[in-house]
Amino acid sequence: MSMPGIPVEMQAGFRLETRAERDMLAQAPAEMRPFLEAQMKMAMEMEMCEFLTRMFKSDHEQGMTVIKNIGG
């Protein structure tokens, strides 16, 4: 999966297709494969969005802690 704008180091931490997922795709009827692949891609993108949301929230909270500590 291509993740433009995300450093390669971060991309490596995201899950890849598991063996079970690959087996499921291989056994699925041909007309279902595109839908299953799209579903798996959406799941990976959701995981990435959740990760980025948590990361930005944590960054924001750290910044707010600094501001509160200096009396802002």
**Predicted local distance difference test score (pLDDT) of residue 16:** 62
- How many Cα neighbours within 13 Å face the side chain of 70? 6
Percent of the chain with pLDDT over 90: 50
Residue 37 placed within a domain? yes
Residue 43 placed within a domain? yes
Give the residue numbers spanning the domain of 30: 15-69
- How many Cα neighbours within 13 Å face the side chain of 18? 5
Residue 55 placed within a domain? yes
Residue 50 placed within a domain? yes
Chain segment 8-21, per-residue pLDDT in tens = 656 655 666 788 88
Residue 10 placed within a domain? no
The dihedral through the CA atoms of 54, 8, 23, 18 has a sign that is negative
Chain segment 46-71, per-residue pLDDT in tens = 999 999 999 999 999 999 999 999 98
6: which residues sit within 8 A by CB, 6+ positions away?
48
What's the number of domains the chain is made of? 1
